Each structure stands twice: as structure tokens, then as C-alpha cells.
């Protein structure tokens, strides 16, 4: 496996297509258009709007080197699908590649027998070798022959994606590599069925040697993101993903206790677990569908076999999402497997799966499913809105609870939902007012609960657990502990929020999000707008990044010296405990590291 390259501190310039006070994107009227691009440390990367004309499509960045040599248009970078833009017929595609020298580039979009170009109004996109620049300018997209004019594009406003605490920045580079190695080591262990992703290799005290549908989907999503970015074309990574698909597709037809796709876990040989358990867990099919769709688009973008997508992935995707359509409004167990009811987290991942699925179905000519998925996603969004408590100023975790733990409503799963399931449309996204407020409520619920959060060093943040009433200690019941993945989730949310504000061009403090911003700077008042490119904005995001890194510092402080992370660490002594090297813990670490680098997993 090839390791990730060093995480870079990036200075860039942006003109945003977002309104200053909205986090919802506005798509172009052309078929393809560059949204932003960055050239830093010899790496060119960016995001492109692509109209979803047909499922099979190829998007290519073509560039001239520093001497303005196009190499007969042979200098190319393949773009890859990133995510659908909700309520539109457009998608985000991203590109990233090491480029020793570059002067300018344009984008070519091949689809359905036609070719479209974005050449920045015949000016191409100019790249400065002396500074890191991210630019979005006015463009003209046509099917005309490519030109190579050298007019300079215009940009206004600047800011830097904050690097945060330098000690944490250095540590997290190595930790990401360690976590990737451990994560992959927990997949396909000897004697298991092909594609088995063990939640942990621990077989006793506790026994986590099972393939959870949820955990596996979230882990595989991180691996697909690797294949979509830094490990593009890597054959071993591709095989790991295809193995996961094989195991998952087989599990869909296994006989299960619940006789449904919401069966939570499977044995190493691929058979279903038949012991007593909290079932069904209906977030799993939605998460699996989202990961399959992400893989389908990435695989095709890299020249993969379309028959594999239509013959293997599509039927599995439709089975999962049809199940979601038919079962979203009925109660199920939550992601912690303890409460039967209707859950914010479950609904969020369902909405995302259906929105992704509607685009996938449309691209594959299934207008009936596309319409059904879109309609159901809208109904789910309406239900999700009911979880917001204006009087308490946070998103509550569950409704219509019929059994399980009684909670006040604070739960780290709401934060995880924003990180994993939001779509960049401002709907409970990490940088949205309601999720910023919820992050404050969740953190405050733990700040004085755990002994490790009292009298701590100033560089440490608060350790975060699942929910305050938790009694699961990692191998039995007494008192719940902080979890590595929950603590990382807060830091990841902060960095994702910065990414949103940068794209929006500003962020405004109001009565809902005021508590969050006053945690950063107590002098901030409601009504203040921080605008991209100003010193006040730069100071704000720098301080938010430093606050985020305090959560990562907690993880660093309480992990094992070799980078090993089990499920939990003691609420009093801070020592690692529970299932050793929880695969989800390491996948969450990688996701957090990507967010800190300004390239979050979508």
C-alpha cells in the first residue's frame, strides 16, 4: 500500500459561488465548470461541477507545464466522482495529482457521445508557481475546439486553510498511516470469508470478531475515498473493496433472524449471527448503499468494467435503498445497538443514501426508483427537522423510543451523523447553525462527567463519550467511558465547518450558533459576520482549528504509544480499554485527519 503524502498547509484565494450568508451551493447553467482549484507543494487539486447527463462519463483535466508545453494535450489528470449535489442534476467531481510544473489548464467532459469544455472563457485557468492559489472565475463552457489563450483569471479575497497546532499536525501524519495499516490488517483475516471486515480481532473480553454491516460500510467508505484520491489505480486497494462487495452481496441473501436487510452482524464465515441482539438496525443498508455508489462512480471514472457496476453493484444498491423506502418510518435499534426507536443518525444516513441513490438510478435509466428515492428523502428531511429542539438549542438523538436506555437527548451520534451523512447543502451540515449549537451541547454534557476532563493540561480538550447515561464500559456494564471515535468526531466537525465557511465566503453569528463562537472567543456577539479574506476571518478559523486540535490531542494523549486505539479509554485513569484496535476507531481517525488537511471524506 502506498502511504498518504504529507499533509500540507495551504494558502489559497477563493471566489465563491455561494451566497455570503448561505451554505447551500448554486450550480452553474453549463455542463461542466471548475468550482475551485489549488496548486500547492507541487500538487494540483480541485473540485468541478458536472451535469449528470448520463451515468457513464469521463472528466479530464488537461494542463500545460511550466514552459507552456501541452504535450499534444497529453498532460492529463483524471477527475473522479465525489458526491451528488442534492435537489439538482449536478455532481461534484474532484481531482488531485502531483505536477512538477504547471502554467494553465482546462477541463474536458466526455459524455453520451458529446464533448464539453470549461476553458475559463477561452482564457484557461492560470496557475502561479510562486504561490498557492485557489480560484473560481467566470467561465464559458462550449463544445468548441480548445484554445490556449493566456489571459489571467481574476480572484478576490484570500484566506488560509488553517494548520492548527503544529505538534498535532506532525503527529496526525504518522497516526493516519498507522491507522490505515491497522484498519487493513483487520480485513480478510486468515480463515474468514472473502471480504470479512472484522470490527476488531478481539475474540474475547469482548468478542468483536464479527462483520457489522454499519461498521464495515463506514470503514469501506474510507477505503473507497483512498481509491478515489491518493490511491487511485492501486490494485490492492481495489481488491479490498471488491472483496467487501462480495461479502456484502452474499450477506444480503443470507437467512437472518430478522428476515430483513437490517440484520446487524455476520460471522467470519459469512453466515448471519443468530444470537440475541438488538435488531433490526436499519442504518446499515443505507450506509452500504452510499459506499457502493461511491465505489461505482470511482471505479467507472478509473476505467472500470461497467458490467460489474450494472450487474453486481446496482442490484445490491437497489435492494438496500428499496428496503429504506419501505422501512424508514418504523422503529429500529440505533447505531449503539441499545435503543429501539426513530433516530436522528439513522434518518440522516438514510436521507443521504436515497439522494445518492436517486442520482445513481437516474444515471442508470431507472426513473421510477429515482423519483421514489427523491420523494422519500424529502419526507425523511421533514422528519429530521422535528429532532431540533429550539428550547434546548440542540438536535435530540431519538424519538418514539419503545425500549432501551432513557436519555436526556445528548448523543455523539448526532455529531457523527453531520460528518458522515450531510451533503454540502446546509442541511444539518457540520458548519450549519444547528449542528454548531449541538456540538456545544454534546461537549458540555461530558465536560464535568469524566475525571480525565478535570484538571487537564491546557492543550487538551474534553474527552467525549457516546452519551452521558452510558453504562457500557467496553466489556460489561458499570460506567461508560470516552470513545476515541466520538472524541475525534468533534475535532472533525470543526474542520469540516471551516471548509464550509470558506466555500460560503462568510459565516454569520446568530442566536442559535452564538454559544459555539463564544467558546472560541467570548467577545464575539450575535449579528457579527466574518468574511473570507479579512483578518478577523483568518483569526477566527485559526482559533477554531486550534480548538479542534485539542480534541485530537486527547486522542493522542490516551492512545497506546504505538498508535493502537481500542474502542474506549477510561473515564478516570484514561487508559485504553475495550475491544483492541477497533476498526471503526482507526477509520474515524483517518477521516478526521483528512478533514484537518482540508480534504474531508465525502
CA distances to 77, 104, 118 from 72, in Å: 14, 14, 18
Which of the residues 334, 433, 567, 581 is marked catalytic? 334
* Residue 8 DSSP code: -
Beta bridge partners of 212: 265
Burial annotation 402-418 (CB, 10 A radius, 16+ → b, else e): eebbebebbbbbbbbbb
465, 511 contact by CB (below 8 A): no
Residue 183, C-alpha cell as written in the block: 484498519
| Residue 334 bears catalytic tag | yes
CA angle 252, 255, 261 (to 5 degrees): 40
509, 524 contact by CB (below 8 A): yes
3-state secondary structure of 287: helix
What residues contact 231, with CB distance under 8 A and at least 6 apart?
1, 2, 237
CA distances to 18, 36, 133, 158 from 15, in Å: 9, 8, 11, 9
For 305, counting Cβ atoms within 10 Å of its Cβ (0-12 exposed, 13-18 middle, 19+ buried), the class is exposed
For 285, counting Cβ atoms within 10 Å of its Cβ (0-12 exposed, 13-18 middle, 19+ buried), the class is buried
Residue 337, C-alpha cell as written in the block: 445497538
28, 49 contact by CB (below 8 A): yes
Closest-CA residue to 49 (of 71, 66, 25): 25
For 134, counting Cβ atoms within 10 Å of its Cβ (0-12 exposed, 13-18 middle, 19+ buried), the class is buried
Which of the residues 87, 234, 322, 337 is marked catalytic? 337
What is the number of other CB atoms lying within 10 angstroms of the CB of residue 577? 18
| Residue 263 bears catalytic tag | no
Residue 489, C-alpha cell as written in the block: 468526531
Longest dimension (CA), the chain: 70
Burial annotation 217-254 (CB, 10 A radius, 16+ → b, else e): bbbbbbbbbbbbbbbbeeeebbebbbbbbbbbbebbee
Cα 556 to its chain centre, rounded Å, is 22
351/347 Cα distance (integer angstroms): 6
* Residue 452 DSSP code: G
What is the number of other CB atoms lying within 10 angstroms of the CB of residue 523? 7
Catalytically active residues, by annotation: 334, 337
Amino acid at each position: 500500500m502506498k502511504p498518504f503524502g504529507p499533509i500540507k498547509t495551504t494558502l489559497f484565494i477563493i471566489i465563491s459561488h455561494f451566497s455570503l450568508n448561505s451554505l447551500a451551493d448554486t450550480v452553474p447553467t453549463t455542463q461542466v465548470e471548475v468550482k475551485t482549484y489549488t496548486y500547492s507543494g507541487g500538487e494540483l487539486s480541485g473540485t468541478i461541477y458536472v451535469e449528470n447527463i448520463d451515468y457513464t462519463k469521463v472528466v479530464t483535466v488537461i494542463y500545460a507545464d511550466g514552459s507552456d508545453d501541452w504535450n499534444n494535450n497529453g498532460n492529463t489528470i483524471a477527475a473522479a466522482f465525489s458526491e451528488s449535489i442534492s435537489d439538482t442534476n449536478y455532481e461534484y467531481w474532484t481531482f488531485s495529482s502531483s505536477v512538477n510544473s504547471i502554467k494553465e489548464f482546462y477541463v474536458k467532459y466526455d459524455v453520451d457521445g458529446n464533448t464539453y469544455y470549461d476553458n475559463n472563457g477561452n482564457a484557461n485557468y492560470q496557475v502561479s508557481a510562486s504561490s498557492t492559489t485557489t480560484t473560481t472565475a467566470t467561465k464559458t463552457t462550449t463544445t468548441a475546439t480548445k484554445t490556449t489563450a493566456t489571459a489571467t483569471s481574476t480572484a478576490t479575497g484570500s484566506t488560509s486553510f488553517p494548520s492548527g497546532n503544529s505538534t498535532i499536525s506532525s503527529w496526525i501524519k504518522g497516526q493516519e498511516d498507522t491507522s490505515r495499516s491497522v484498519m487493513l490488517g483487520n480485513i480478510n483475516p486468515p480463515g474468514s470469508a472473502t471480504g470479512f471486515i472484522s470490527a476488531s480481532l478481539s475474540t474475547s473480553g469482548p468478542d468483536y470478531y464479527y462483520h457489522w454491516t454499519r461498521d464495515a460500510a463506514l470503514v469501506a467508505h474510507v477505503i473507497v475515498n483512498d481509491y478515489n484520491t491518493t490511491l487511485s489505480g492501486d490494485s490492492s486497494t481495489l481488491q479490498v473493496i471488491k472483496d467487501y462487495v462480495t461479502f456484502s452481496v452474499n450477506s444480503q441473501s443470507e437467512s437472518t433472524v430478522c428476515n430483513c436487510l437490517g440484520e446487524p452482524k455476520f460471522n467470519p464465515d459469512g453466515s448471519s449471527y443468530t444470537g440475541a441482539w438488538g435488531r433490526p438496525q436499519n442504518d446499515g443498508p443505507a450506509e452500504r448503499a452510499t459506499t457502493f455508489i461511491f465505489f461505482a462512480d470511482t471505479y467507472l471514472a478509473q476505467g472500470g468494467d461497467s458490467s460489474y457496476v450494472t450487474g453486481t453493484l446496482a442490484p445490491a444498491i437497489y435492494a438496500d435503498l428499496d428496503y429504506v423506502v419501505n422501512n424508514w418510518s418504523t422503529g429500529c435499534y440505533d447505531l449503539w445497538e441499545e435503543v429501539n426507536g426513530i433516530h436522528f443518525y439513522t434518518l440522516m444516513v438514510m436521507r443521504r443514501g436515497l439522494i445518492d441513490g436517486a442520482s445513481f438510478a437516474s444515471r442508470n435509466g431507472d426513473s421510477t426508483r429515482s423519483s421514489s428515492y427523491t420523494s422519500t428523502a424529502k419526507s425523511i428531511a421533514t422528519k429530521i427537522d422535528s429532532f431540533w429542539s429550539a428550547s434546548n438549542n440542540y438536535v435530540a438523538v431519538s424519538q418514539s423510543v419503545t425500549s432501551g436506555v432513557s436519555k436526556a437527548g445528548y448523543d455523539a451520534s448526532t455529531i457523527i451523523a453531520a460528518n458522515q451523512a450531510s451533503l454540502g447543502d446546509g442541511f444539518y451540515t457540520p458548519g450549519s447553525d444547528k449542528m454548531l449549537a449541538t456540538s456545544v451541547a454534546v461537549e458540555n454534557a461530558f465536560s464535568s462527567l469524566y475525571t480525565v476532563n478535570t484538571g487537564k493540561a491546557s492543550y487538551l480538550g474534553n474527552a467525549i463519550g457516546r452519551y452521558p447515561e452510558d453504562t457500557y464500559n467496553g466489556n460489561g456494564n458499570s460506567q461508560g467511558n470516552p470513545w476515541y471515535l466520538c472524541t475525534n468526531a468533534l475535532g472533525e466537525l470543526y474542520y469540516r465547518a471551516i471548509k464550509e465557511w470558506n466555500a460560503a465566503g462568510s459565516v454569520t453569528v446568530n442566536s442559535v450558533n452564538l454559544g459555539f463562537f463564544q467558546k472560541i472567543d467570548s467577545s464575539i456577539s450575535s449579528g457579527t459576520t466574518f468574511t473570507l479574506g479579512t483578518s478577523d476571518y483568518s483569526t477566527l478559523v485559526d482559533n477554531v482549528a486550534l480548538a479542534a486540535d485539542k480534541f485530537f490531542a486527547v486522542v493522542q494523549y490516551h492512545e497506546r504509544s504505538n498508535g493502537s486505539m481500542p474502542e474506549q479509554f477510561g473515564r478516570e485513569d484514561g487508559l485504553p480499554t475495550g475491544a483492541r484496535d477497533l476498526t471503526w476507531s482507526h477509520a474515524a481517525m483517518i477521516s478526521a485527519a483528512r478533514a484537518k488537511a482540508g480534504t474531508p471524506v465525502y
